[in-house]
Every structure is written in C-alpha cells, then in structure tokens.
Structure 1
Amino acid sequence: MNYTYLLINIAVIFFPLVLSFDKKVHFYSKWRFVIPAIFITGMVFLVWDLLFVKLNVWSFNSNYIIGLSLWGLPLEEILFFLTVPYACIFIYECLNAYFPNNNLQRYSLALSNTLLGLCIAILFFGYSKWYTLINFGFLFAALFAVEYFNHKFRFMYKFYRAYLVSLIPFYIVNGFLTAIPVVIYNNNENLNFSIGTIPFEDHFYLMGLLLMNVYLYEFFKSKKVN
C-alpha cells in the first residue's frame, strides 16, 4: 500500500502530539526548544540520509511510499526526522516529569566510556562499510563531545533512560519498516548482523539521532534559563 510509510509516521507522532497537553508534563510549552532542536538535527541527518541513498547504503520500496520526494528523498523519510525525534523527546520529558529519581546518574559516565570503547572496536573491524563507519564515527564524536566538552548542563543519565524506553516503540516501528520492507538495506555496507529484521547499526543510529536532539533541546532550555 502506497500510504504505508506515511501512516507509520502518523502513528509515531499521534499520541505524543495529543498527550503534549498533559498537565504534569506541559510538553507544548517546550515546543520553542523542541522545534529548533529537531530542525537542526534533521538537517544533519537528511544530508546523511541523502548521502546513503547516493552510496546505495539503503533505498526505499516504491510500493509503500506515495511518490512525492524532496532533495531525492521520499516525503515520508523527511517526515521521519520530525515524527521520531518529537516522540523521543516527548518520552524523555515524560520520564523526567513522572520519574524524577534516576539511579543511572552514578553510572552514566561509565556507560558512555563503554560505548566509546565499543565504537572504537566496531570501527576497527567495520571501517570499510559506509553505514558502520559513519554511524559509529558520528556516535563516538557526539558522545565524546557531550561527556568531555559539555560542562554546563549534565543530562546523559536522563538520556540513557529515555533511550532504553524509546527502544520499545523503536522495535515496533523499525520492525515494520524493515520487515515489510519499506527501507531496503544493502548488507554489503553494514555488518550484516540483525536483531530480527533490524540491522545492528540501527540501534546506534537511533542513539545518535536522539542524542543530538536531546543535547540541542537541553542547550536551548539552558539558554532560556540564563
């Protein structure tokens, strides 16, 4: 069905958008921080996405998209960088509002260092594959910058909790996208290891996408406070 990817996008954002007016979270009042964070991150990842299409890292099944495109990318793929980040930042804020106590605070730096080591190891073995190289290279740079150059506001312990919760809808949404498939991967450009139908790299692609969005979101909030 040509509307498949579009309907998935609508499903991703529907409940977060409706629940943005929840009295405890007041997420709608934070849109002035959310929108620029999503826009800036979206521009970066759209360039990334377009590059991957040109390099044949992935492609899109014409049977499940409506056929409208911009910059060579399906409209639905562009919407993906609006709907998914919005939903993930919403999850981040809901968890912070309803569960302010977070035991991950004492472990977040150790977890980041472990992930930095994992990135180095994977880059050592998978540097010849475009998805692996750019994905883990970006994540390494982002994690290193946030942990070791960002001293004004600390949020990684909140980020990791939100990421873990975001994996639940991730497996549902990405499971559909990769099983149908809407997105077709060239396994010559990744580690060719999947969890179900979801490539291993996708888990860390989500992490990088969410990390940049949350960092910018917290950055814009901190500027407002100051």
Structure 2
Amino acid sequence: MNYHYTYFLILAASLAGPLLLSFDKKVAFYKKWKYLFPAMLLPALFFLVWDEFKTKAGVWSFSDDYITGIKLSSLPLEEVLFFFVVPYCCVFIYECIVCYFPSVKQKNRGRPVLMMMGVLFLIAATLTYGKAYTFYTSLFNALFIAALFLFQKWFRGFNATAFLISYLVVVIPFLIVNGLLTGIPVVLYNDTENLGFRIFSFLPWPLNNIPVEDIFYGMLLILMNVALFERLRTKAA
C-alpha cells in the first residue's frame, strides 16, 4: 500500500468540514475570506522560516514514508500547506463561536489571563534555553502576547476572551491532527531539543506521542492568525 499521501490526506480531511461549512448562512465565513487570506500570509511566512531553520538544525524531521516527496527547500509541500490549512480551520471555528455566542466579545476577563500567560511563557523561555523547541515556542509566544498589549490600538479588533474560549475548543481537533502526525509518525522530534514530556502518554495511539510544546506552538499559530484577521476586519469596518 502507498502511504506517501498520508500527510496530504490528513490535511485534506481536516479542511473538508470547515470549507464546506464556510457557506453556512449565519456565519457566512466565505464573506470573510478577504480578511482571512491576507491575514494568513505573515504568520505562514514566520512559521515557514522557523520551520526551515529547525528542520535543518535537526530539531524535528519528516518521515519520507508518509509524504509525497515534493519539497520546498527542506520542507515537504504538505508542511507548507499545514500553515494555511490549520489556520483556516481554526479561524473558522473561532468565527463560529463569535457568531453564535457574540457575548464572548463583550467580556474582558481574558485579558489578565492572556497577560499572565505571557509572563509564564517568558519565565519558561528563561528556564529552557538550550532546548530549541521549548525555548523558541515560549519566547515567541511571550513576544507576540506582549505586542498585543503594547500595540492595543493597532490590534483593537482583538478580544482575548473570545480567543481563549475559542482556543479551548480549537485545541481538541488540533491535537487530534497533531496526534496523527506524531503518532504515525509523519513528524519526528529530537527529544534533546524539547522537554521530552508527552501530554497524553497515558492514552492509546495516536494521541500518546504529542510533545507538550505542540499545544503552545499551535496557540501561537492561531493567535497570530486571529489577531491579524481581526485587525484587517476592524480596519475595513
């Protein structure tokens, strides 16, 4: 059996539902593509550069058995698509929550929580220097959260409460996809560059091989996309 389309099929299956439901009358997500697609570009570029450097440095790698073999520099084509497919799906879920529960945007309880998370990320970065995945994931989260608070006027459309609530929902499908990628495994990690702690080590395959850093790597990816999506939407209003 040919397994070389495994990564691609995981992405296609992930995208199918959100893409089809983008035409739901209440959410009408397709009408927001004009804000979403430009918003996705900068985070994708940032993560692709980061991914390229860390792949070359051996922080993580990709199994040739589960990818098509088409590469852009060191990165499989599927990995490039990951930084567009996953944000699309996650921002779609975020927008569904905002549309069906608009009151989440009227609350500010998430601001101190996000601020505290930024402080904890900074502390984590100082304690994990030398473990590239943990250190940079913590540092970049801390820096971007700081930017959200320092440049509040620029990010005026962003609501911390709405983001945090939506991420609690988003993280479930995100971890399922990540579980498949790390459990098969499509993606392999060098544990000398992370804490070596697997979030759900007590669960059966494929969820038992996800590094704890993946939760916060995903958080940064979605946080950047949501913040820029809201920035562009607010600017156009």
TM-score (normalised: structure 1): 0.96
Tell me if structure 1 keeps the 8 A contact 2:105–2:162. no
Helix, strand or coil at the partner of 2:61: strand
Can you give the 5+ residue segments of structure 2 that lack an aligned partner in the other structure?
Answer: 201-208
CA offset at residue 125 of structure 1?
1.7
Counterpart of 2:230?
218
CA distance in 1, matches of 2:98, 2:142: 25
CA distance in 2, matches of 1:46, 1:115: 24
Counterpart of 1:109?
111
Q: Aligned pair 1:187/2:191, yes or no? A: yes
CA distance in 2, matches of 1:184, 1:77: 13
Helix, strand or coil at the partner of 1:106: coil
Aligned AA (1:198): I
Q: How does 1:112-123 map to 2 (within 5 A)?
A: 112-123=114-125
Q: Which has the higher helix share?
A: 1
Counterpart of 1:132?
134
CA offset at residue 68 of structure 1?
0.5
Aligned AA (1:96): V
Tell me if structure 2 keeps the 8 A contact 1:104–1:161. no
Helix, strand or coil at the partner of 2:103: coil
**Cα deviation 1:103-140 (Å, max 9, x = unaligned):** 89332122112212211221122111111121111100
Q: How does 1:54-69 map to 2 (within 5 A)?
A: 54-69=56-71
Aligned AA (1:118): L
CA distance in 1, matches of 2:123, 2:58: 25
Residue from 160, 174, 179 that aligns with 1:156: 160
Aligned AA (1:87): C
Aligned AA (1:3): Y
Helix, strand or coil at the partner of 1:195: coil
Following TM superposition, the consecutive aligned residue runs of length 4 or more in structure 1 with deviations greater than 4 angstroms are: none
CA offset at residue 187 of structure 1?
0.6
Q: Give the length in aligned residue pairs.
A: 225
Q: How does 1:7-156 map to 2 (within 5 A)?
A: 7-102=9-104, 105-151=107-153, 152-156=156-160
Can you give the 5+ residue segments of structure 1 that lack an aligned partner in the other structure?
Answer: none
CA distance in 1, matches of 2:51, 2:107: 33
Aligned AA (1:137): L
**Cα deviation 1:146-177 (Å, max 9, x = unaligned):** 12321333411111111110111012111111
Tell me if structure 1 keeps the 8 A contact 2:108–2:159. no
Aligned AA (1:45): F
TM-score (normalised: structure 2): 0.91
The structure with higher relative contact order (CA 8 Å, sep 6+) is 1
Tell me if structure 2 keeps the 8 A contact 1:21–1:28. yes
Counterpart of 2:176?
172
